[in-house]
Amino acid sequence: MKKTITFLSLAFSILGTKAQTIADFETFTLSANSAYSPTTSTPFQTSNATFEYRYDNSFNYWSGGFAYTNKNDSVTGSYSNLYGVRAGKGYTNSAIYVVGQDMGVITMNAPYNTVNGFYITNTTYAYKTMAKGDMFARKFGDTTGTGSGTTIAQGSYPDFFKVIVRGYKNGSLKSDSVTVMLADYTFTNNAQDFILSTWQYVNASVLGAVDSIQFLMRSSDVGQFGINTPLFFAIDNFETSAPNLVGVAGNEQDPILNAYPNPFNTAITLSSLIPGGTVKIHDISGKIIYTEVAVNETSVLDLSAVQPGVYFLEFMAGEQKTIKKIIKY
């Protein structure tokens, strides 16, 4: 137990200091009133994340993921306006923001980053559809078409439109999620019903360290062919934080053992002044995930089966002991 606590303390000293990055998308270059719209499924990157973009070549349309835009149409509520937002412009009236679709994925550029949060709002298309209805979708709150004949009073149907943000780490879905209500007509008091028309901050830090996040959209207006509400939303100022890995493991220059390359991909080479030592590699919880006995003056450790992340290499030779932080990418 004492060893585990020692390693946990070292891990927390590394992970406790965060380096924050905010992508506000203003560095992207666009002609006036346009959007990112390649005719191939080509993602775009910011300094902290990669945004999925899908294009359907069979029917020639943007089929999923995200696109950055400077289109500021807050009026047109039809399929001809996929990029405008009801708020008019980006957060704090910025020129460029990002529009996303259901199932869109954002991948962190470095593993185990935390998504601190972002701003979100409704697109004009989705907002107008919920506020007024159209040939496919019901006006939110109305019982006409789906609730008629029930005991629900006209204008009181408990509609909702929401985004669920889920995190993935090492390919596995994490248990926590974040739900954002883009429209909510489920209140007992109808005066509290709303359709979001301004930028709202979303705290996503509960997801913890992630490799990627996915946005899932849900609506109460569901028809024969699925959700009737246009499955679009907009985000801005996407903020992440990463562990500060600089100058933390205080024995990086320890002459007893040299470990390289670091960061590494599949294997790491150890060079020791004291041959015959024992190497143990711990994850950040203190669990031993690898052991090598009788290390030569130069040894190569095959760590291809180890997941990417931060680990601690413990080298013991007689009375000598050293610990090094190593990173697999």
- pLDDT tens-digit series, residues 155-204: 899 999 999 999 998 889 999 999 999 999 999 999 999 999 999 999 99
- Is the CATH number 2.60.40.3080 carried by domain 257-328? yes
What value does the mean pLDDT take over residues 269-279?
77
In the prediction, which pLDDT does 85 show?
98
In the prediction, which pLDDT does 243 show?
57
What value does the mean pLDDT take over residues 298-317?
86
Rounded CA separation 303/219 (Å): 45
Rounded CA separation 79/126 (Å): 9
pLDDT digits 0-9 by tens, 63-106: 999 999 999 999 999 999 999 999 999 999 999 999 999 999 99
Give the CATH number of domain 18-243.
Answer: 2.60.120.1350
pTM of the model: 0.71
Greatest C-alpha distance within the chain = 84
In the prediction, which pLDDT does 288 show?
84
In the prediction, which pLDDT does 206 show?
95
Rounded CA separation 259/69 (Å): 46
Strand partners, 311: 326
pLDDT band, very low/low/confident/very high, at 37 (cuts 50, 70, 90):
very high
Rounded CA separation 186/26 (Å): 37
Rounded CA separation 227/162 (Å): 12
Q: Among 8-12, 31-35, 92-96, 183-187, whose mean pLDDT is lowest?
A: 8-12
Which tokens in the block code for residue 47?
Answer: 């300094």
Say which residue, 305 or 284, is predicted with more confidence: 305
In the prediction, which pLDDT does 4 show?
41
In the prediction, which pLDDT does 279 show?
86
CA dihedral 122→128→131→133, nearest 10 degrees, is: -130
Say which residue, 30 or 254, is predicted with more confidence: 30
In the prediction, which pLDDT does 164 show?
98
Mean pLDDT (the chain, rounded): 87
Domain ranges of the chain: 18-243, 257-328
Rounded CA separation 208/187 (Å): 31
- The answer to whether 309 touches 283, Cβ cutoff 8 Å, is yes
Residue 18 has pLDDT above 90, yes or no: no
Q: Among 83-97, 114-128, 176-190, 305-319, whose mean pLDDT is lowest?
A: 305-319
In the prediction, which pLDDT does 313 show?
86
- The answer to whether 235 touches 94, Cβ cutoff 8 Å, is no
pLDDT band, very low/low/confident/very high, at 319 (cuts 50, 70, 90):
low
Tokens 């999620």 belong to residue: 177
Rounded CA separation 126/163 (Å): 13
Tokens 């609730």 belong to residue: 147
257-328 and 18-243 share a CATH fold: no
In the prediction, which pLDDT does 256 show?
67
Pick the most confident of 24-38, 234-248, 268-282, 313-327.
Answer: 24-38
- The answer to whether 76 touches 124, Cβ cutoff 8 Å, is yes
CA distance to 67, 85, 214, 234, 236, per residue, from 24 (Å): 13, 16, 19, 13, 6
**Minimal CA–CA distance to 20: which of 114, 120, 118, 119?**
114
pLDDT band, very low/low/confident/very high, at 303 (cuts 50, 70, 90):
very high
